[in-house]
Chain A
């Protein structure tokens, strides 16, 4: 079983839609839950992160963690064409940066 499983997509939505991106993980030691965004031909960049369970909101983005079910979600409200990118979940223990999901490619159609 892989440490992190992510819905591979690709996902294509119309502009203004709500997007849900999801990952599951197996390691109970994960404490930090990061989301990276990667534009085409660029390296990933940190979008947001949460610590332990709960929700965190940053503008149109909401990260949600349910440690009881080992489920991680990223919601994008009012999606924009500029949100078109690959989104990678990255749960971490705090002692290493070893694990990334395979990424979900999102396309927002104007």
Chain B
């Protein structure tokens, strides 16, 4: 069974640009969550989607957005990039919403110059 797939794995952007990250969950998983991981703050929750609906949202500015498609694949977008957005962005899927074991992808490492 394929795991959670995130693309791209690495990317470099400059301040002011925008970026879109993609996540394909494990087959059959309907919940997708996104996290930002930095050395200082650790793993911080961005948002969770279940059946194409955003269920929960973390304390991030509106520049961070996401969506989920009918096949459960998800994308997150960050607009007007800032240096502080440099981080590892992790996607996790689970069978049901906000419960049980999270299965993480390997992440997309974003560097903002």
Contact = CB atoms under 8 A, between A and B. Distances in A.
Contacts of B43: 44, 88, 100, 102-103
Contacts of B92: 43, 97
Interface residues of A, number: 22
B42 interface: yes
Contacts of B35: 100
The prevalent SS among residues of A at the interface is loop
Contact of B48 (A49, A88, A92, A97): A97
A101 B37 CA distance: 11
B12 interface: no
A97 B42 contact: no
Interface of B: 4, 33, 35, 40-45, 48, 56, 58, 90, 92, 94, 98-99, 101-107
Those 4 A-B pairs whose CB atoms lie nearest each other, nearest first:
A43-B104, A102-B42, A100-B43, A96-B98
Interface of A: 6, 34, 36, 41-46, 49, 88, 92, 94-103
